A and B are shown apart, each in its own frame.
Chain A
Amino acid sequence: NAGVTQTPKFQVLKTGQSMTLQCAQDMNHNSMYWYRQDPGMGLRLIYYSASEGTTDKGEVPNGYNVSRLNKREFSLRLESAAPSQTSVYFCASRANRGNTEAFFGQGTRLTVV
């Protein structure tokens, strides 16, 4: 009963380095999301994907790319990390249809130095 699994849990990057945050869900959900959480800013949507093969920008997409590899997996890539991307990142998934809740992963705490 894994739900939404994110890796890694913690990461420290140097400015300019790249990395990919991985997310997988086992609930057969169509929609998947990447959020970042910063103090006083709540949960801000970076990118989302309503179905396999489609992605859309959220509120704060600059500096990020995403890939919906298949229905289960949705990855977030930082091509050239900046200190402003220091944050906690959450992946979530949700069924598209009907009144349903989204399920979140445990988060990735990323520090860019």
Chain B
Amino acid sequence: DQQVKQNSPSLSVQEGRISILNCDYTNSMFDYFLWYKKYPAEGPTFLISISSIKDKNEDGRFTVFLNKSAKHLSLHIVPSQPGDSAVYFCAASDRGSTLGRLYFGRGTQLTVWP
């Protein structure tokens, strides 16, 4: 039973345009959300996060939006660059848990073409 879902396995975007990656969750106890980026043959690397007390967090070209009522978050990349081509994982955690467990979605392969 997946508690974090990324329903689009792939996304293709032209360079310079906006990339929007989506993520849904089912557990209302989740209060911290993260996005990871993964290149082939490397480990996932942290990209950006958002706490449930916010609805938006921005870091350069990357913005994460959180809609708690819909249990939905999205990652916007503007403008998209070919170097952004990677697999993006959405993750969530329950701050009330002392175990520190992260729940991951299955990932979205983003391809940015020139």
**Contact pick for A99, options B32, B43, B99, CB 8 Å:** B32
Q: Which of A36-94 contact B (CB under 8 A)?
A: 40-45, 48, 50, 56, 58, 90, 92, 94
A102 contacts chain B at the CB level, 8 A cutoff: yes
Interface residues on A, range: 20 to 34
- Contact (Cβ within 8 A) A90 B44: yes
B63 contacts chain A at the CB level, 8 A cutoff: no
At the interface, is chain B mostly helix, strand, loop or mixed?
Answer: loop
With A42-B89, A42-B106 given, is the CB distance from A50 to B98 under 8 Å? yes
**Contact pick for B43, options A30, A48, A90, A98, CB 8 Å:** A90
- Contact (Cβ within 8 A) B46 A101: yes
Interface bits A4-42 vs B (CB < 8 Å: 1, else 0): 100000000000000000000000001101010000111
- Contact (Cβ within 8 A) B45 A102: no
Q: Which of B77-114 contact A (CB under 8 A)?
A: 89, 91, 95, 98-102, 104-107
Interface residues on B, range: 20 to 34
Tell me the nearest residue of chain A to B53, going by C-beta: A99
A-B contacts, CB under 8 A, total: 66
- Contact (Cβ within 8 A) A40 B9: yes
Jot down 12 A-B pairs with beta carbons below 8 A, ordered by A.
Answer: A30-B100, A42-B107, A43-B107, A58-B101, A90-B43, A94-B102, A95-B100, A99-B51, A102-B46, A104-B36, A104-B43, A105-B43
| Further contacts, 20 of them, CB under 8 A, given A99-B49, A101-B46, A106-B42 | A4-B43, A31-B99, A31-B100, A42-B105, A43-B44, A43-B89, A44-B104, A45-B104, A48-B101, A50-B98, A50-B100, A92-B102, A96-B99, A98-B95, A99-B95, A101-B34, A102-B46, A102-B91, A103-B46, A104-B43
